[in-house]
Structure 1
Amino acid sequence: MVQKSTFESEIKSYKSKQNAAVKLVQIVSNLWYNHSIELVFFRNQLFDRRVSRILTLHQESKALSDSPISIFETLQIAESMQHLKLAPSRLDIGKLALEVRNQNIEEENILYFIKKELLSAQEHKSFAPKDVVLYGFGRIGRLLARELISKAGAGHQLRLRAIVTRDNVDLKTLQKRATLLQNDSIHGDFEGVVEVDETKEALIINGATVYIISAKNPEEIDYTKYGIEHALVIDNTGAFRDNEELARHLTAKGASQVLLTAPGKGVPNIVYGVNNDMIDLENTTIFSAASCTTNAISPILEVIQRTLGIKHGHIETIHSYTNDQNLVDNMHKKTRRGRAAALNMVITETGAGSAVAKVLPELAGKLTSNAIRVPVPNGSLAILNLELNKKTSVEELNNILKESALYGSLVEQIKFSDNVELVSSDIIGTSAASVVDAPATIVSADGKHVNLYVWYDNEYGYTHQVMRLARHIAGVRRYTYY
């Protein structure tokens, strides 16, 4: 009888959590669709997430607090927000719930506390939306399209208006492009509606017309014919890498800025959160978002350099195979990359060590790097072997990184994990640039030599870094609370 009663009470308790999560989903959707206010939970997206996933995220929050933040604590925060008039924002209700708990705010005072904490969001100036053109539609291009559309909200931010490819624009090609956008073998189905409009030569994505433009060269495009003005062109082809080549985009009518999704030569290489403050937005029109690996390691290296100091080190990246490798053994202009990608571990070079110096000049000449491509389609790992200026311990080092994941300028970039069972497939879909594997941290007996293991979704995490940088240079920055 006792066992039955316990079982029924457990089921009832879980049902109440599910119901609270359903209410949270409704609030999240309303704030996003109607007010361009995005609620996240310790930087994890809540919009378009299932109830079970939201409850799992709450359980995982134990890595950041003495006990998990409950769905009821979060729901209270979200309900309070509905009474405020907020500008387009990105608000971390997990962080707010943690502050309410830590400060022992009484239930009747939560609304007052939230109103005070989000005062800046109530006074934040709204910016005009920015037209975006994707030049290229490969792996990163399609993920960017997904994120740009799903993050369109009430239309106050970045607006995807066109996609440029080298194909002929006909019904068959449009259907193929639509299918590749809708279905992804790694990231799953797109949570949206994609239709083909042959007459417009466009895809209709969640009701918005996105023109598909065929062009061999950037100079021949007139974006104004499509009603596109002062557009940010995001080049994800990799075909143009230096300032002169990328400047060709600016000769197209209707284009005003260019962002390269690869390391660039002679242009600012920016890791958002680390060195975006160095950009002269008034006088610069061409930018690079650096590489996925540079975005993964730079936030961690910045924290370590600032707190403990780095004498020198080596970075080894265990990287998923990419499209530039061969599917089966065949000729390749680069050494080893001609061997079958899904069957071999392949040693190859990476410029990550030298690229970091462009982002963190104080580390110039201090780092070496190399890479191994491994037979997984996505999800990579950087091993940072560093000699420090100051002594440390595993506990101190992990606490420094945990603190950086919760507070400061790098909370979007760094995620802290204490999961002892973490593997590469668990990283897929992570929006943070870096995931610290705390249980794997190693510190030598003298406290000066450390090994840090940093995971990253080299597609999805990098795409989010590109999005953050795009908002910054486009001047549509939202108020954020982390």
Structure 2
Amino acid sequence: MSHKPSFDLEIKSYREQQNAAVSLIQIVSNLWYNHAIELVFFRNQLIDVKSSSILNLIKESVLLTDEPFNIFDTLHTAQVLEKLTLSPARIDIGKLTLQGKKQTIDNNDLPSFITNELKDINQQAELKPRDVVLYGFGRIGRLLARELMHKAGAGQQLRLRAIVTRDANDSKSILKRATLLKTDSIHGAFEGDVQVDIPNQALIINGITVHLISAKQPEDIDYTYYGIQHALVVDNTGAFRDEQELSRHLKSKGTAQVLLTAPGKGIPNIVYAVNENDIDVQKHAIFSAASCTTNAISPILAVLENKIGIEKGHIETIHSYTNDQNLVDNMHKKSRRGRAAALNMVITETGAGAAVSKVLPSLKGKLTSNAIRVPVPNGSLAILNLEIKSKTTVEEINALLKEASLQGDLVEQIKFSKDNELVSSDIIGSAAAAIVDAPATIVSADGRNVILYVWYDNEYGYSHQVMRLSRHITGVRRYTYY
């Protein structure tokens, strides 16, 4: 008969783990805010994260990787990193710790091991920060503002300098925009300080001035008047969708590049980590980050196309309702979208299937797609029904996607879940573009038909993809260890 530890010993053990997590948080903050070195844990953000959340991340990662490591191992890795002289970087401390454990590196040899693993970290060119303008301040715009300010770090990255809206910047409008930034019914309160500067028509976010600019037309703005130079303009409005319309931004003084947060016509459509290296960012000034759904399904399709091959398939997206639907039944220019969004499942079109071919040309003409808007405010699901080129099994498919979530170029984009109880609200706040629901994977008896269920936070996860792409096209890319 086994004996459980006493209650006092359990409390003592947990307290020691909490203290170690607090020490880790201090190191994470020091490295980020003072040295522009961002530590993540198996792609999960650690900046401003609670100690209990860190302990939960470690437990989840142990279950996923089937490798034994703990908070104390992770803390020791962080302590070694803090003592090194490193250039700005993004380092997965979970993977670094795991690699050390796999190679049975003891604590005495860990500094030498880490130094060797990160030997290329100081080889990169010096980072030059870039100014960013958010053109539009809706759902995606406000999440991008939060993330840009959250990731301001030592000021060597993307710098949010201005927000452009079509409305007049009277005191009432400025106060409303500040409130919408500070509070969010889905994503909760902004963990930062937001003040208003009415005389100067600005928001003061975490002590940094962000100008509020009112303009009816993009070309009417002179960003240099606000001290903004060589800026990336991120267009969140959806009002301009093709090269001719979006090029109007380039007529504004101080603008260098434009990024559309929607599918675009006549411009490169990019899903970061899937096809960004196929586009010469020096030859283009206007880019599209594609849609949230395209960002969710493309990484998964890329893995299967590269490893097994896809003959054809159908994508059905079960998508949260959006702002273009009606709150109550009323006229709408599109079919069905006029019916009350929070009361109905609404069949509507999506171009995600065709859009994938812009990112993965080998799938051109092979995918159809449709969408159903459902009565949830955020959190969506893509169902991939695929006919593949060679026989497979559930185990093989899940193993491929699990490996992609832990190793390779798609670790930020793909999260692998073994949770049998996963539901849509659980994935809200996930920075991954796609969350694979492994227990739901289906393979037909002949092994030629695969059905995958892929969750995605169509707001938060997509915003992170936009951020990743923004860093890529501006050249503000740190050394990354994944």
TM-score (norm 2): 0.98
**Percent identity among equivalent residues?**
70
> Is the 8 Å Cα contact of residues 134 and 233 (structure 1) preserved in structure 2?
yes
Matches within 5 A, 1:92-107: 92-107=92-107
When structure 1 is superposed on structure 2, of 245-254 and 60-69 the one drifting more is 60-69
- Report the CA distance between 1:69 and its aligned residue: 3.4
Please state whether the residue corresponding to 2:109 is helix, strand or coil: helix
Residue aligning to 1:385: 385
CA distance in 1, matches of 2:203, 2:148: 14
Residue aligning to 1:211: 211
CA distance in 2, matches of 1:257, 1:5: 60
CA distance in 2, matches of 1:62, 1:387: 33
When structure 1 is superposed on structure 2, of 151-160 and 114-123 the one drifting more is 114-123
Please state whether the residue corresponding to 2:121 is helix, strand or coil: helix
Residue aligning to 1:239: 239
Which amino acid is 2:134 matched to?
L
Matches within 5 A, 1:64-213: 64-67=64-67, 69-213=69-213
Residue aligning to 1:371: 371
CA distance in 2, matches of 1:143, 1:23: 29
Residue aligning to 1:251: 251
Please state whether the residue corresponding to 1:324 is helix, strand or coil: coil
Q: Which runs of 5+ in 1 are unaligned?
A: none
Residue aligning to 1:435: 435
When structure 1 is superposed on structure 2, of 131-140 and 109-118 the one drifting more is 109-118
- Report the CA distance between 1:102 and its aligned residue: 1.2
CA distance in 2, matches of 1:123, 1:230: 25
CA distance in 2, matches of 1:481, 1:21: 21
- Report the CA distance between 1:54 and its aligned residue: 1.0
- Report the CA distance between 1:198 and its aligned residue: 1.1
Residue aligning to 2:221: 221
CA distance in 2, matches of 1:104, 1:380: 41
CA distance in 2, matches of 1:77, 1:123: 22
CA distance in 2, matches of 1:63, 1:114: 24
CA distance in 1, matches of 2:4, 2:109: 39
Mark the CA change 1:109 to 1:315 in structure 2 (over 3 Å): closer, same or farther. same
CA distance in 1, matches of 2:146, 2:106: 40
> Is the 8 Å Cα contact of residues 353 and 368 (structure 1) preserved in structure 2?
yes
- Report the CA distance between 1:64 and its aligned residue: 2.6
Which amino acid is 1:102 matched to?
K
Please state whether the residue corresponding to 1:342 is helix, strand or coil: coil
- Report the CA distance between 1:119 and its aligned residue: 1.3
Please state whether the residue corresponding to 1:64 is helix, strand or coil: helix
Indicate the RMSD between aligned Cα atoms, in angstroms: 1.1
CA distance in 1, matches of 2:147, 2:266: 28
- Report the CA distance between 1:445 and its aligned residue: 1.0
CA distance in 2, matches of 1:373, 1:431: 22
CA distance in 1, matches of 2:65, 2:230: 45
Please state whether the residue corresponding to 1:250 is helix, strand or coil: helix
Residue aligning to 2:395: 395
- Report the CA distance between 1:478 and its aligned residue: 0.9
- Report the CA distance between 1:103 and its aligned residue: 1.2
- Report the CA distance between 1:173 and its aligned residue: 1.1
| 1:42 partnered with 2:42 | yes
The Cα offsets for residues 395-424 of structure 1, whole Å up to 9 and x where unpaired, read as: 111111011111111111111111111111
Which amino acid is 1:270 matched to?
I
- Report the CA distance between 1:5 and its aligned residue: 6.1
| 1:332 partnered with 2:332 | yes
TM-score (norm 1): 0.98
> Is the 8 Å Cα contact of residues 58 and 68 (structure 1) preserved in structure 2?
no
CA distance in 2, matches of 1:4, 1:38: 39
> Is the 8 Å Cα contact of residues 233 and 255 (structure 2) preserved in structure 1?
yes
Residue aligning to 1:452: 452
Residue aligning to 1:297: 297
Residue aligning to 1:52: 52
- Report the CA distance between 1:67 and its aligned residue: 4.2
| 1:410 partnered with 2:410 | yes
| 1:423 partnered with 2:414 | no
The Cα offsets for residues 148-202 of structure 1, whole Å up to 9 and x where unpaired, read as: 0110100001000000001111221111111000000100110100000112110
Please state whether the residue corresponding to 2:132 is helix, strand or coil: strand
> Is the 8 Å Cα contact of residues 63 and 416 (structure 1) preserved in structure 2?
no
> Is the 8 Å Cα contact of residues 61 and 68 (structure 1) preserved in structure 2?
no
- Report the CA distance between 1:98 and its aligned residue: 1.2
- Report the CA distance between 1:85 and its aligned residue: 1.1
> Is the 8 Å Cα contact of residues 336 and 346 (structure 2) preserved in structure 1?
yes
> Is the 8 Å Cα contact of residues 319 and 371 (structure 1) preserved in structure 2?
yes
Residue aligning to 2:28: 28
> Is the 8 Å Cα contact of residues 297 and 454 (structure 2) preserved in structure 1?
yes
Residue aligning to 2:311: 311
> Is the 8 Å Cα contact of residues 63 and 418 (structure 1) preserved in structure 2?
no
Residue aligning to 1:271: 271
CA distance in 1, matches of 2:401, 2:285: 34
- Report the CA distance between 1:68 and its aligned residue: 5.4
> Is the 8 Å Cα contact of residues 149 and 160 (structure 2) preserved in structure 1?
yes
Mark the CA change 1:93 to 1:244 in structure 2 (over 3 Å): closer, same or farther. same
Which amino acid is 1:148 matched to?
L
> Is the 8 Å Cα contact of residues 342 and 376 (structure 1) preserved in structure 2?
yes
- Report the CA distance between 1:57 and its aligned residue: 0.8
- Report the CA distance between 1:62 and its aligned residue: 2.8
CA distance in 2, matches of 1:321, 1:50: 31
Residue aligning to 1:359: 359
Residue aligning to 2:471: 471
The Cα offsets for residues 251-285 of structure 1, whole Å up to 9 and x where unpaired, read as: 00000100000000000000000000111122100
CA distance in 1, matches of 2:347, 2:142: 28
Residue aligning to 2:62: 62
Residue aligning to 1:262: 262
The Cα offsets for residues 452-472 of structure 1, whole Å up to 9 and x where unpaired, read as: 110100000000000000000
Mark the CA change 1:271 to 1:478 in structure 2 (over 3 Å): closer, same or farther. same
Q: Which runs of 5+ in 2 are unaligned?
A: none
Which amino acid is 1:122 matched to?
N
Q: After TM superposition, where is structure 1 displaced by more than 2 Å over at least 4 residues in a row? A: 2-5, 122-126
> Is the 8 Å Cα contact of residues 61 and 69 (structure 1) preserved in structure 2?
no
CA distance in 1, matches of 2:325, 2:387: 33
CA distance in 2, matches of 1:424, 1:358: 28
Which amino acid is 2:222 matched to?
D
When structure 1 is superposed on structure 2, of 68-77 and 28-37 the one drifting more is 68-77
> Is the 8 Å Cα contact of residues 60 and 68 (structure 1) preserved in structure 2?
no
> Is the 8 Å Cα contact of residues 84 and 122 (structure 1) preserved in structure 2?
no
When structure 1 is superposed on structure 2, of 354-363 and 50-59 the one drifting more is 50-59
CA distance in 2, matches of 1:380, 1:69: 33
Mark the CA change 1:127 to 1:177 in structure 2 (over 3 Å): closer, same or farther. same
> Is the 8 Å Cα contact of residues 87 and 125 (structure 1) preserved in structure 2?
no
